[in-house]
Amino acid sequence: MIRLTKAALLLLLLLPACAVAQANPDSVKHRNDCRLAAQTLSTGHPSPQYGWALEMAWRCTEAAPALAGAIAEAATVRDTALLNALTQPTIQLRDGRVFETAFRIAGDKHASQEARIFAIRTLIYTMRPGGGIDYSNLAGRDQYCYGFGPSLHQYITHGAPVPGDYVQRVNTLGRQLAADASESESIRHAGMCAALARELIRH
């Protein structure tokens, strides 16, 4: 598992999606950067570039499969800073492969609670791209499910299509988690937030 440096994590945590430069997706440099980002996320090399690769993944459809793989590998991780960095690109990158990975982790009782909550955040971002959601919002440490609302000027990168029934699937999973007495209070709260997210879909 790649460990991000404190400096790289700080950059990712402080960098709002709206501040990410809008690269021209048709430019040769952008395509080359996206290929390098995908390679770095897949292999972990060059390791000093890992934080940069996550930053690039916001707007690289080529990086989506590698990002999905990195999120899957972190299913048992409890490091909230790392999980935040791995899933933060999904505020802007909407991809069916990432969605399916997050959906599996969200419902997996063998995954860490932290990874499941960040996976739930990714599912909510699928419906509500561009908005801000903190771990504390979903874990029940805050009375609200969501942070700031989506930017009207937010650029969304569309990768592989999300499933046609994604809204119903997330809603059903959220309701199941919220009603499951064997789940922790934090997972149940996050499930409730996921069930409510259908009201926030941005078309």
* End-to-end alpha carbon distance in the chain: 36
Read off the pLDDT of residues 155-200 as tens digits, 9 standing for 90 and up. 788 999 999 999 999 999 999 999 999 999 999 999 999 999 887 6
Q: Tell me which H or E stretch contains 181.
A: none
Residue 152 lies in a domain: yes
Structural domain harbouring 187: 75-200
Question: In the predicted model, is pLDDT for residue 10 greater than 50?
Answer: no
Determine the Cα–Cα distance for residues 155 and 151; give it in Å rounded to an integer: 9
Residue 149 lies in a domain: yes
Whole-model pTM: value is 0.83
Write the burial class of residue 28 (CB in 10 Å: 0-12 exposed, 13-18 middle, 19+ buried): exposed
Question: In the predicted model, is pLDDT for residue 203 greater than 70?
Answer: no
Number of structural domains (the chain) is: 1
Determine the Cα–Cα distance for residues 109 and 68; give it in Å rounded to an integer: 19
Percent of the chain at pLDDT exceeding 90: 61
Residue 57 lies in a domain: no
Residue 11 lies in a domain: no
pLDDT of residue 198: 81
Residue 5 lies in a domain: no
Give the residue with greater pLDDT, 99 vs 26: 99
- Give me the mean pLDDT over the 148-158 stretch: 67
Residue 106 lies in a domain: yes
Residue 10 lies in a domain: no
